[in-house]
Each structure stands twice: as C-alpha cells, then as structure tokens.
Chains A and B, each alone.
Chain A
Amino acid sequence: MPIKNALRAATALGLLTATGAFAESHSPTITIATVNNGDMIRMQGYTDTFTEQTGINVEWVTLEENVLRQRVTTDITTKGGQFDITTIGMYEAPIWGANGWLVPLDDLSAEYDVDDILPAMRSGLSHDGTLYAAPFYGESSMIMYRTDLMEAAGLEMPDAPTWEFIREAAAAMTDRDADINGICLRGKAGWGEGGAFINTMANSFGARPVNENWEPQLDSEAWAETLTFFTEMMAESGPTGYATNGFNENLSLFQQGKCGMWIDATVAASFVTNPNDSEVADSVGFALAPNKDGVDKKANWLWAWALAIPAGTAQEDAAKQFIEWATSKDYIELVAENEGWANVPPGARTSLYETAEYQEVPFAQKTLDSINAADPNNPTVEPVPYTGIQFAAIPEWAGMWGQVSQEFSAAYAGQQSIEEALEKGQAIMTEELEAAGY
C-alpha cells in the first residue's frame, strides 16, 4: 500500500506542477534581470511607486554578475523572451547592440531629456551613435585616501597625483605593526577585477594591450615597467595576499582602517563615507587616479550599469516606460527625498551634478571629474583599434583578458616572474586574436 500511495503522490505532484504554470496573473507584468548591488536593490524597493503610476507589475530576477551574463546571453541568442529588461554593463551594450540583440532606445520621450545623460556614458552605451542602454548609474575610478594618515605622514595629496607620489605616500603611511597598509589595489584574477585595474594602470604608463593592427603588445617595455612598478609598490606597502584581493576584499580592508589609499570604483565613495559601515568615514579624501610622470593618461576607467531591452520582448512599450522611469531625473529626486542625496545613483546625468544639494556631497565633484577624464574612444597614449578603457569592446575580450589576468595574478603571488607572465599573456592574446580573425 505505501507504494500505491507513493504513486498517487507522484501523480498528484505532477498535476500540481503542470497546472502551476497556468496560475499566473494576467495583469501586465515585465520581468527584469539584474545584479545585486546597493543601487539596484534600492530601485527594487521603489517598484511599487512605478506600479502605482503605470499599472505595470514588475518581477525581479536578481543574479550574480557572471551568471546574469550567461543567462541573458543564452536567452537573447535563442530568443527565449524570458526577460523584458536586462541590466548590462558598458562592455556588453555596444557589442549586443551591434548584433541586433537589443532594442534601440532612439525614441525616448522629450521629458526624459536624453541629452542630459553624461556624454561619456551615452557614448559608451551606444553603437554607431544609437543608444542601446540607459545608464542607471555610472562610475569611473579614483583615489580614496585617509586624510589623517596622510597628514601624519607629513604629505599633502595633490588633486591629480603621479604614480611616483602615490608610491612614496604609500610607503610613508604603511605601518605594519598597526596593520596599516599604505595602499590597497586589486590583484584578483578576472577581466573585470584585477584585469581591469592593471589595464588602466598600463594606460597611465603609456602602454597599450594591442596596436592599431590588433597585434598584442604585452612584450613592450611599458608593460614590463607597469607590472614591475605595481608588484614592487605592493610588496613595499600593500596587504599580504593582495593577489587574491578584488573590490570587496579591499572595501573591507579600507572600511576597517587597514588601507592608507585605495584606487577603485567611484561608487565605493558612498560606502567608505557611510558611518554605519565604515570605521574611517570621517577621514576620507578623494583625488583623481594617478598617471606616470609625463604621461597624459590617467589610470581611471569608465563603467555604467544600464538597463536595456532584449530584442524580441513582447512587452517593449512597458519596458521602455520602466526604463524611462528608473533612469529619470524624477527617480533621482525620489531617492534623494527619501534617503538623502548621498544615496542617489551617481554618474549618469549632468543635471545631478548641477544640483546644489548634490554638490555638497563630498565625493560628487571628484566623481564627475573622474568620469570626464575618461575617454573610451581614446584610452591610450598610442592609438588602439577599439573603444573602451579597462576593456576592449570586442566579444573575445572577456575570455582572453580573463586568462591574461590569471597569469598576472600568478606573478603577483610569486608563482612566476613578471617576464614569464607577460610572455604567456602575449602568447594567449596572439592565439585568441588570430583565431578570431583580427
């Protein structure tokens, strides 16, 4: 008898499962795939306001960044239609736009004021002049430093310091007994982690990953100088095990007062100055990312998390309405009204930086200056055939640079020499780029 019961239960379960799919609501609903970060989570909290205004329901699917990329790519390329809006970055927007995977955002309403989007963001999210994703927030990278430690070291941070100054200041601020590292930087493997940082640093040393003909340049002197400078500085003043430190690890160290300086995403400024999370909130200063003395490129990147509509969605109009709402001036004001100006999504709109209240936020001006100092169309001293600063906007970049950054991380960890890492990196790039037909 128990077996019969089990069979009955299985049949009932099957029927329940099958019928569950039909028990959906028939009111208009859009599904949004997104990443888990503070600004996106905050937006989810205001979804009810959008639903009240428009009658459109919103379902959120939150995924880890890499899972989201894989999930959305699969869905878009197979025309699965699972998502009406997806959160993508500045790397994907031009590539996916060129492939015809995204709905062009060329008919946004006049009230939306598309010209108010910061030019660097608009350019980075467009392909052939057509906008494919609306920036929800944008970021560059800059120096965040401890004003008290800098003062104790008898130094003053210039607005636009050089790498030579940074190295000297890091050494002066380092106090191994007090567990204070002069500088914390990303060393973790990954094209968007340590790979992104070292690429911007190389730009500021006059290096470039490829030449105009897509020939890898990791065997150049400028690259050897970049990695040598980086590893020496980190050995002198960086935390132990920095080869595995990414954004979160360095954020944690800085918030606990264990870093004199940290060069990373401008969006981190709101975290390190938040007294609820940071032990050093009262003593943080900001400066533009450094460059090698005499080189006219800074080590700062440009990135945006943006909302895009996958081609083939059945809810294109509703999706556009949501994007217009979520990336509007009104949304910024809604957040400011409820949570203060320091918590509004930064780096997307010019008008935000013209707002008197926002100008009082300590990191606002430096964030804008950093974004404006980034030029994705002209990222290196010598010319390159791609757009993008910490990445090249080609489909092969993520896989290829991910492998190269693993070689770099192995060198940071002392598992191989810098020469070996660069040699292997050069071989990886040569093989990948040739195979892709560049």
Chain B
Amino acid sequence: MARAVTSQRKAINTAIAWTIGFLIFFPILWTILTSFKTEGTAIADPPVFLFFDWTLENYAVVQERSNYMRFLWNSVIIAGGSTLLGVIVAVPAAWAMAFVPSRRTKDILLWMLSTKMLPAVGVLYPIYLICIELGVLDNRAALVIILMLINLPIIVWMLYTYFREIPGEILEAARMDGASLRNEILYVLTPMAIPGIASTVLLNFILAWNEAFWTLNLTAVDAAPLTAFIASYSSPEGLFFAKLSAASTMAIAPILILGWFSQKQLVRGLTFGAVK
C-alpha cells in the first residue's frame, strides 16, 4: 500500500514538474514556432499552434539581410573570452578567500557583490569616454574586458563557495610534499573543483551571451554580437514578428545546444556541496 502511494505521489510530482517545465519553456517554444509562420499567421487571432503552413521564408530573409555568422562569431569571442579571462582572474582570488581568509574577507566579498547593484546606465558615459580615449569603441577586446569585470563578482562568489567545500588539509598535504603555490592551485585545487568551475564557466558564458546593455551601447559594426542582431529586427512601425522570431531562434540556438549537452555538468556543479 505504502509503495502504491509513493508511486502515485511520484507520478503527481512528475506531472507537476513537467507542467512547470513546459510553462517555463513555452515562450521559447512559441518563438521557435512563430519563426516558421508567415507574418499573417504569426498575428492570427485566435493564435495557430501547430497546424499551419510551415515556411523557412523568414530564415531566408534574415540570412539575406544580416551577416549572421559575423554576429555569432562576435558573441562567441566576447562571451567566451570574458568568461575565460574571468575564471583565470577569479581562481586565485577565490583560493585566497577560501583558504587564507583574513578579517576583511567577508566584507570584501560583500563589497564585490555590491558593485552589481550599480545601474549600468549610471556608468555608461564614463566608460564610453574611456573607450573613446583608448580608441576601443566597437572593439571585441574592450567588451571582453568590460563583461569580464561585470561578471567577476559572480565568478569569484561561485568559486569561493565551491572551494570552501574542499578540505584544506588536502592542499596542506600537497604543500608538505613540496608543491609550489602555482602547482597547488593548478594541479590539486582545480581538478578537485572541476564540476564547480565548469558550472561557473557555463553560467557566466550564458550571462555574457545574453548581456544586452553594454553590447548594444558599445558596438556598431565590427564587434556587434547576437544581441545587436536581435535588436535590429524589432520594429515599432510594421509587423515583423515572424522575422523577429526567426532572428531570436538563430540567436538562442547555440546557447540552447550548449545548455542541452552540458546540463549534467551544470546541474552537478550547481548542486555541488548542497548535501553534506
């Protein structure tokens, strides 16, 4: 009897989980479906769900009008570069905070996080002027550094949390065996924290991929990533919902695929240390 109740509860929980999952995914599904409709069908009332004449016309138009590959490449460079650079800077910082804490470590961590509370538009002009002075407006390297700095507090926080779960004794043992600081971080700490580092990398790659304020305001042609690509299909005067949906689908496709293949790693990293 108890077994039957458990199965029933399991089924209910599964159904609830699937429903919530579907509801969360529905806007993305709707965008993908709309991208295969004509502009007329896209605005039909009542809306058409699956039974319409599927067309690839919107993708053809978007492909013809925009250099998708250039936007994609810029997104890969900016999101990938800023994440990698961020991790390289954050690993030693998180190591110091986790294993050699001082009286001020907690304050420093909170202060770092507080910088995320500053509205981005508040520093738009200073950063814009600095970019002009350095001649790096519409430049991928500048965006790599800016996005790295913006996401650094989150990277440090995440890595600090993961590192805290690793027993300090293991590092001590490595030191006693003669490992230098560099070797201790590279060959002892990092391999043990790989799940945590992987989920940090993935999460920050997604954050950098979707970042739309700085990537829209500091780019024009050469460094414009996929956020600029989507923005170019938004229209206040004219119905281009199907084309906008096609552009959106093309922009999110790489990150969806990446997320799909790395979901195990992502979940493992996010739940790392959750149960002691």
Contacts and interface: CB of A to CB of B under 8 A. Distances in A.
Interface of A: 3-4, 6-7, 9-10, 13-14, 16-18, 20-21, 24, 31, 33, 35-38, 41, 44, 59, 61-65, 67, 70-71, 74-75, 78-83, 192-193, 246-248, 251-253, 255-256, 258, 265, 267, 271, 277
A256 B45 contact: yes
B5 interface: no
B224 A74 contact: no
B37 interface: no
B184 interface: no
Contacts of B186: 3-4
Contacts of B65: 41, 44
Interface stretch (B25-33, B159-167, B229-237, B250-258): B229-237
Nearest to A276: B40
A124 B144 CA distance: 42
Given A36-B234, A267-B237, A17 B129 contact: no
A249 B140 CA distance: 37
Interface in B15-47: 39-40, 43-45
Contacts of B263: none
Nearest to B121: A70
Nearest to A79: B132
Interface in B188-227: 190, 216-217, 220-222, 224
B155 interface: no
Given A3-B190, A18-B141, A248 B238 contact: yes
A349 B80 CA distance: 49
Contacts of B272: none
A61 B228 CA distance: 9
Contacts of B85: 10, 14
A5 to B, nearest CB: 11
B25 to A, nearest CB: 25
A78 B129 contact: yes
Contacts of B56: none
Contact of B232 (A62, A81, A277): A62
Contact of B220 (A16, A83, A258): A83
Nearest to A252: B43
Given A3-B186, A63-B216, A67-B216, A10 B81 contact: yes
Contacts, number: 129
B125 to A, nearest CB: 7
Contacts of A44: 65
B58 to A, nearest CB: 14
A248 B239 CA distance: 6
A78 B88 contact: no
A79 B144 CA distance: 23
A67 B217 CA distance: 8
Nearest to B240: A36
Contacts of A65: 236
Contact of B236 (A13, A14, A59, A248): A248
Given A13-B84, A14-B85, A64-B235, 4 more contacts: A14-B144, A20-B141, A63-B231, A248-B237
19 contacts: A7-B88, A9-B84, A10-B85, A13-B80, A13-B84, A14-B144, A36-B238, A37-B237, A59-B221, A62-B233, A67-B216, A74-B128, A82-B137, A192-B236, A193-B236, A252-B45, A255-B43, A258-B45, A277-B39
Nearest to B131: A80
A323 to B, nearest CB: 19
Contacts of A61: 220-221, 224, 228, 232
Nearest to B186: A3
Given A255-B43, A256-B43, A17 B236 contact: no
Nearest to A15: B141
A131 B85 CA distance: 49
Contact of A247 (B80, B84, B141, B237): B237
A242 to B, nearest CB: 14
Given A82-B137, A256-B43, A14 B81 contact: yes
A383 B128 CA distance: 42
Interface in B53-96: 65, 77, 80-81, 84-85, 87-88
B139 interface: yes
B170 interface: no
Contacts of A265: 237
A46 B77 CA distance: 31
A398 to B, nearest CB: 14
Contact of A16 (B77, B190, B224, B232): B77
Contacts of B129: 78
Contact of A17 (B140, B216, B221): B140
A17 B81 CA distance: 9
Contact of A6 (B84, B139, B233, B236): B84
A251 B238 CA distance: 8
A387 to B, nearest CB: 23
A13 B77 contact: yes
A255 B139 CA distance: 43
